[in-house]
Structures are given as C-alpha cells and as structure tokens.
A and B are shown apart, each in its own frame.
Chain A
Amino acid sequence: MSNMGKSSVIPFGPQHPVLPEPLHLDLVVEDEVVVKAIPQIGFVHRGLEKLVEKKDYNQFVYVVERICGICSFGHSMGYSEAIERLAGVKIPKRAEYLRGIWLELSRVHSHILWMGLAADAFGYESLFMHCWRLREKILDVFEKTTGGRVIFSVCAPGGVLRDIDDTTLSDIKALLESIKGEYTQLCKAFLNDSSVKNRTVGVGVISKEQAEEFSMVGPFTRASGVDYDVRSLGNGAYGYLSKFTPVTDDQGDCYARVKVRAAEVFQSIDIINELISTIPKGDTFEAMKGVLEKDVEATNVLEQPRGECFYYGKGNGSKFLERFRIRTPTSQNLAGMVTSLEGCDLADVNMIVLTIDPCISCTER
C-alpha cells in the first residue's frame, strides 16, 4: 500500500531554541516522521579566506584563530604547521609538546561543553550546569597559561609565543585528576539514565558502510566503527606518545556517539599527563622572517575536536599568501547528518543534529 500521509515541509533554524548552530534544515515530514532533510548554510559567512590578500602570513594567524571559538587553537595550530611546511622551517621540540598539550586541553573542553549541550537539549539542565562548571576550570587554565579564555593568540608560525613553567604544569596535572573524578560521576549519571537511553539508543543510526561511503570524520564516524583518527599518523607531539589507539564503538546511534566522546575525554587526559611528564626543555619560538616562495603549496591535517581538518596554503612570492583553504570537519559530516535524519521522528531531529557536534562558523568561515 502506498504511503497515505501527506508531506509537509517544516523549516528548522537558523534561529531555534534547541538548535545550537545557525543551520537551516527543510524537513519534509509525513505524519511526524522525517522523510528527507535539505540543509542550507550561509548565515555566518564572513569571507575570512579572502583576507589573505590584505594580511601577511604572520598577521593572518590572528584571523584564522577567530574562525571559531571552540576550535580556535586547532585552527591556529593547523595554519602555523602549514606555513612552516611551506617554508621548510622546523620548530623547537618543546613548542611541539606545548601545542599538543593545548590542543588536547581544547579537546577536553570541547567535549565537556558538548555533553552539557546534549543534556540541555532534552531538558537535563542540572547536568548542563555541572558540565559547564567543570569547563570553567579548564578555561581558568587557559587564562593562566595563555592570557585568554577563548581566543589564545599563542600559536604562531615558528612555534608558540608563551612558555608554561614546571609548577603550572604540575598544577594542570592535579586539576585534571580532580576533573576526571567529577566527570566520571557525570558520565555515569548521563549514560546509565533510562530516560537518556530511551531518547538516544537506536536513534539516527549510521552503518559502517554508510560512514565510509560518505567519508565522514571525527567521533561521528568512530561511533559507527570506522577507526580513523588523524592522531594515529603521528604528526607533531603525537609522534612522541608511547601508544595511541582511536576510541571506537560499533552501534552507530546517538548513544554510541555520546559514549565515544566521553571516552575521548579520558583518553585526552592521559595524553596530556604523558606529554607533561616527558616534555623536554628548550626554546619555544623562532620568529619566521622573509617571503614565501611563489607557487609552493603545503597541506596539513589535524584532528580537531570535531574531526579531521585539512589545511592548504600556497605562496605567491611575497609575504602574502596566494590562497589559504580550510576544509572543516562539519562540512564533511553534513552528508552523513542528512542521511541519519531520514526516517527519524520529528522530536529526534535536534538530538541527531547535536550529536554530530556541528560547528557552522568553522564550516562557513
């Protein structure tokens, strides 16, 4: 029997009380079941990649880190590494360790923030407040070590502009131990709750074949069983770790994505502890001078909290770049998100959109 329901189109976003990002979705709905979702982005496009024409490669790092607030350090680190590859410059080893520590702290901060948002999405406001209270402690660490809470301005082509002394490093270790204890309690409260399970288990399933077909990245794809993580490649400080295995789950639903992000926080805390105990002494910065050669290209990949981010730079013979392109993880995951929305209830739409951890300001720059 053919489907007797009548389709209607419900617009969702860009302003919506439960939608965290300015994304527009046209939901084709038949009797409260979503049949198709058509996304639309472009509400926060600022044209930041065009600013390479006006700012030289040393000034452009301050533009790149303002693409997104949560992924800020990741972008400045990815950009700096791409420029260093373009010019063939090697940075001091201590700078690589410090960049790794700050990137992993960003990842912990992002995942804890995300868990608060996920809890708030279905009304669990006290967990949201507790998660963001934990996040404040990490922001305090950022303020103490870099001078800023959200935008750090500490990574530049040539190394890092600030150093962290040994007392502060051991304070960071002690703080992460206390955060670990509280975060374990929050995870248990969130993951073992039957109402959370009712809303997330079996919702928005993406199989491993679909994940590989759409080339999805990040915890979104690791929850479907694909064990792809850029940190396994061993770039930068990750090459000095004793071992690294990506966290995966094979269920592919929203519950699996929550579990993967929660486990990644513990993994990041272990990585930070290892980097702090093995950090070498030395310089942290050697300023890059001179021009970038004409028509020389460089690429870089980085594991942002949301997935693999790809950076491409091309020089033009002066101190300005010819082109700088960033391919962000959320733009790669949009196809997978649209597929996971097909067949779900209307009430589950915001949960699924949240579990891919969208970052539309990164996507649109």
Chain B
Amino acid sequence: MGFFKLGTMTLKGLVKKPETLQYPAETKEPYADQKGTVVNAKPADCTLCTLCAKRCPTNAIDVDREKRTWSISHLNCIQCGYCIAGCPKKVLVMKGERPALAAKKSVEKIKIPAQKKKEVAEKKD
C-alpha cells in the first residue's frame, strides 16, 4: 500500500514542532562568517589606495581621492569578498546581517579623515 508508507512521517509531523521558522516571532542568528554586508569598518586607517574599487567584479565600490570619499552600492554588491581579501590595511569586513530594505537605490558614502602627517614629521626629527 503506497500511501501508508509515508504514514509514519506524516503522523510524526502532527506532533513535532514545525520545520519552518515562525518569523518574525522567531529569528535566526546569522552564522559566524555568513555573508551579508560589506562595511568599511576603520575609515581612519583607509589610505584610499583604490585596490578594492579595481577588484570589485560589479564595480559596486567607488573611491574618490580628491574628495576623500569611499562609497559602496549595497544593491550591486554580490558579497564575494574579493575586495576584503585585497585590502592592504584590512579595513573592510563582512557583517552577517543583510542590508536593510530600501525603497529607492542609494549609495553609502563615507568621508575618510585626512591622514595625520604631523606625527610622521615629528618622528623623522
């Protein structure tokens, strides 16, 4: 009898808790190293070398050296991590949470503070 073969699985399903997550009452914590959002975590250490912008396969990162801004379009980012691997100062990190929902396209822009050149000059003296 074919239809009784799944019977035990079906009956167990009546008493077990559901396989699906009862979102938004329950949420799932992201795993460590899960892909979500690429973030410039230490703007003070960023040297605007533009390696991340050159590496990005979708051109989501844009670096403007004159205006000293670093910007990323989260919509175009495919969370591949190639920019993170190539950053020489290790300022880029991947956070586990997905970017928030947005009603229109926007680009996240960060102003990179000017490097402190006075400390370097004092060390030389």
Contact = CB atoms under 8 A, between A and B. Distances in A.
B47 to A, nearest CB: 21
Interface stretch (A13-21, A187-195, A308-316, A338-346): A187-195
B80 interface: yes
A69 to B, nearest CB: 14
Given A62-B57, A62-B80, A127-B6, A147 B19 contact: no
A147 B34 contact: yes
B33 A192 contact: no
Contacts of A162: 33
A183 to B, nearest CB: 11
Contacts of A304: none
Interface in B45-84: 55, 57, 78-82
Contacts of B81: 153, 161
Interface residues of B, number: 21
Interface string A190-220: 0011111000000000000000000000000
A148 interface: yes
Given A143-B34, A147-B34, A62 B78 contact: yes
Q: Which of A55, A62, A127, A193 has the most CB of B within 10 A?
A: A62
B9 A58 contact: no
Contacts of B94: 147
A192 B5 contact: yes
Contacts of A192: 2, 5
B28 to A, nearest CB: 10
Interface string A244-263: 00000000000000000000
A232 interface: no
Interface in A107-151: 126-127, 130, 133, 136, 143-144, 147-148, 151
Interface in A261-290: 287
Given A148-B35, A162-B33, A63 B5 contact: no
B27 interface: no
Interface string B1-44: 01101101110000000010000000000010111000000000
Contact of A59 (B9, B35, B79, B82): B82
B35 A185 contact: no
B34 A58 contact: no
A59 B5 contact: no
A63 B33 contact: no
Contacts of A161: 81, 85
A62 B82 contact: yes
A196 B6 CA distance: 14
Nearest to A55: B57
Contacts of B35: 147-148, 153
A119 B15 CA distance: 25
Contacts of B79: 147-148, 153
A127 to B, nearest CB: 7
Contact of B31 (A63, A133, A143): A143
B6 A58 contact: no
Given A59-B82, A62-B78, A136 B5 contact: no
B19 A133 contact: yes
Contacts of A148: 35, 79
Given A147-B94, A186-B6, 17 more contacts: A62-B82, A130-B9, A133-B19, A143-B31, A147-B34, A148-B35, A148-B79, A151-B78, A153-B35, A153-B80, A161-B81, A185-B6, A185-B9, A189-B5, A194-B2, A195-B2, A287-B85
Interface of B: 2-3, 5-6, 8-10, 19, 31, 33-35, 55, 57, 78-82, 85, 94
Interface of A: 55, 58-59, 62-63, 126-127, 130, 133, 136, 143-144, 147-148, 151, 153, 161-162, 182, 185-186, 188-189, 192-196, 287
| Pairs of residues from A and B, 8 with the lowest C-beta to C-beta distance, nearest first | A193-B2, A189-B5, A147-B35, A59-B57, A153-B80, A62-B57, A189-B6, A62-B80
15 contacts: A58-B82, A126-B10, A130-B9, A133-B19, A136-B19, A147-B31, A147-B94, A182-B9, A185-B5, A185-B8, A186-B6, A193-B2, A194-B2, A195-B2, A287-B85
